Amino acid sequence: MIRVCSTEDVPKGTAISADVDGTEIAVVHGEDGNFYAVHDECSHAAVALSEGEVEGCTLECWLHGSRFDLRTGEPTGLPATEPVPVYPVEVRDGDIYVSLTPSNGVTR
Ligand code: FES
């Protein structure tokens, strides 16, 4: 697990982007209170998901509006049809750690 940032860097309902050992990751604080990490690129086109809106435990792509479930990486609506990689997250002592091995088996 690699330390990415402090939990205070990601207020509830927001997302930030982070470079973790050369992998762009969107770290998201879901409205359910949990932290999530997904690859910071939409599976539909090369835009940053971290710039989209957080709703519940989904992250919406700002370009065409596909919403990705942060637990599974699956899009819940078109135009994206492919899931994005989801990275395991751990919170320890107020810091967020991620693993770069996707938990949903999706590689980029
Ligand atoms: S680029 Fe994300 S839905 Fe089209």
Give the pLDDT of the chain (108 residues) as one tens digit per residue: 999 999 999 999 999 999 999 999 999 999 999 999 999 999 999 999 999 999 999 999 999 999 999 999 999 999 999 999 999 999 999 999 999 999 999 987
How distant is the alpha carbon of residue 5 from its chain centre? 14
**Which residue in 87, 88, 84 sits closest to 106, CA to CA?**
84
Cα 60 to averaged position of ligand 1 atoms, centre (Å): 9
Q: Is 47 in the pocket of ligand 1 (CB under 6 A)?
A: yes
Enumerate domains of the chain plus CATH numbers: 2-98 (2.102.10.10)
Number of Cβ within 10 Å of residue 36's Cβ equals 26
Cα 50 to averaged position of ligand 1 atoms, centre (Å): 12
The helices-and-strands tally (H runs, E runs) of the chain is 0, 10
Taking CA 10 as the corner, what is the angle to CA 24 and CA 106, rounded to the nearest 5 degrees? 35
Q: What is the pLDDT of residue 108?
A: 77
Peptide bond into 79 cis (omega under 30): yes
Q: Which atom of ligand 1 is nearest to the CA of 65?
A: 3
